[in-house]
């Protein structure tokens, strides 16, 4: 399955049920983050590929991604291809330097082309696919996963999930998908949850979410009850989710991934969702979301997670009303 398309459709379904003024204020804020060069602002205000991907996902899910916005963002993506190839694949923020950057670039391109039409020529697309594949090949590790960078000896669960999503966004088969299943088996914790890599000490909410997504793609079979138990134990008193058992406070990323993971597992507790929504709304601003208590910076990434919680809550409310 193409997990990013599945995620996009799920977000759209729930956000379509939200009030018009909710969609309008967050669409307006996200659109205001587009910089003159076409990319969207990071936390320091400059155009940034990573934040561009989250902005486009949010705007698309809100039904506000128009051809002119997509065309400008597409032009930004093309400028990243004009950087020398060695810099694109070796620099920390190059568009194919790691799985995070690669999937950010390809998912952004997909969303832009969805409304603006083809942005790359066939030769450009072929070259970008080859370059991305070559870079991801270099990051593949003996344990079946993909490393965060060249110096990492072990596969990262999060980066492996994103690498697989990048292949699917390129419309390419995942190479040696069975090796990714082997990684999931190694990183699965007997009591529930998954480790980020073989050197990690404890599982986390977001690692569990990445593992569930990767499992859906490669066909790995896991013990659903253990994952449900782990995730429900990560709920904080205020309704958000902790990132790890040792986290001092909940955060919006973990709250969205926790609720979405339970939804994937078929566990939709209306009270838990309502409490999660209540927590998310404490982080909502007149435009966009912050990420956790005492945080003051609103950004495109956390806004995406806030939209995700609102989407799930409205889907659950609609089901209860039937």
pLDDT tens for each residue of 211-220: 999 999 999 9
**DSSP code of residue 247:** -
**CA 243 – CA 205 distance, rounded (Å):** 5
Inform me whether the pLDDT recorded for 261 exceeds 80.
yes
Q: How many residues does the chain have?
A: 322
- Where helices occur in the chain by DSSP H, the ranges are 3-15, 20-32, 49-61, 67-81, 85-90, 99-116, 122-139, 157-169, 177-187, 205-218, 224-232, 252-264, 270-281, 300-321
pLDDT of amino acid 80: 94
pLDDT band for 264, please (50, 70, 90 cuts). very high
**Residue 160: which of 81, 217, 224, 109 has the closest Cα?**
217
Tens of pLDDT, residues 40-83: 999 999 999 999 999 999 999 999 999 999 999 999 999 999 88
pLDDT at 75: 97
With contact defined as beta carbons under 8 Å apart, do 62 and 22 qualify? Answer: no
Q: What percent of the chain has pLDDT over 90?
A: 95
Supply the pLDDT for residue 322: 85
Residue 93 has pLDDT above 70, yes or no: no
Helix (H, G, I), strand (E, B) or coil at 289: strand
Cα 217 from chain centroid (whole Å): 15
Q: How far apart are CA 306 and CA 296, in angstroms?
A: 15
pLDDT category of residue 18 using cuts at 50, 70 and 90: very high
Distance (Å, whole) CA 15 – CA 301: 17
33 in Cβ contact with 297 (< 8 Å):
no
Identify the band that residue 235 occupies on the pLDDT scale cut at 50, 70 and 90.
very high
Confidence of residue 92 (pLDDT cuts 50, 70, 90): low
> Of 177, 200, 170, whose CA–CA distance to 208 is shortest?
200
Q: Give the pLDDT of residue 275.
A: 98
């Amino acid at each position: 399955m193409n997990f990013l398309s599945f995620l996009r459709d799920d977000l759209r379904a729930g956000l379509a049920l939200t009030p018009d003024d909710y969609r309008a204020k967050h669409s307006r804020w996200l659109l205001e983050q587009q910089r003159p060069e076409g990319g969207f602002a990071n936390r320091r205000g400059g155009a940034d590929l990573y934040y561009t991907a989250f902005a486009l996902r949010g705007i698309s899910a809100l039904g506000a991604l128009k051809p002119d916005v997509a065309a400008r963002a597409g032009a930004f993506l093309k400028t990243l291809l004009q950087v020398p190839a060695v810099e694109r694949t070796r620099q920390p923020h190059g568009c194919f330097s790691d799985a995070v950057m690669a999937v950010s670039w390809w998912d952004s391109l997909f969303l832009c082309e969805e409304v603006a039409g083809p942005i790359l020529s066939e030769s450009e697309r072929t070259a970008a696919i080859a370059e991305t594949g070559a870079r991801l090949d270099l990051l593949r590790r003996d344990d079946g996963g993909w490393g965060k960078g060249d110096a990492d000896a072990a596969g990262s669960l999060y980066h492996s999930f994103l690498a697989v999503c990048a292949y699917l966004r390129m419309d390419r088969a995942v190479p040696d998908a069975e090796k990714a299943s082997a990684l999931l088996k190694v990183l699965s914790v007997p009591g529930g949850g998954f480790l980020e890599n073989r050197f990690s000490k404890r599982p986390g909410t977001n690692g569990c979410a990445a593992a569930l997504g990767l499992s859906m793609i490669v066909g790995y079979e896991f013990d659903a009850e253990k994952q449900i138990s782990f995730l429900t134990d990560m709920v904080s008193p205020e309704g958000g989710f902790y990132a790890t058992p040792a986290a001092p406070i909940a955060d919006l990323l973990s709250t969205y991934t926790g609720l979405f993971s339970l939804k994937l597992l078929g566990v939709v507790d209306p009270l838990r969702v309502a409490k999660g929504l209540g927590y998310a709304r404490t982080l909502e601003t007149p435009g966009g979301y912050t990420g956790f208590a005492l945080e003051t910076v609103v950004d495109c990434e956390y806004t995406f997670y806030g939209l995700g919680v609102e989407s799930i809550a409205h889907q659950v409310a609609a089901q209860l009303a039937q």
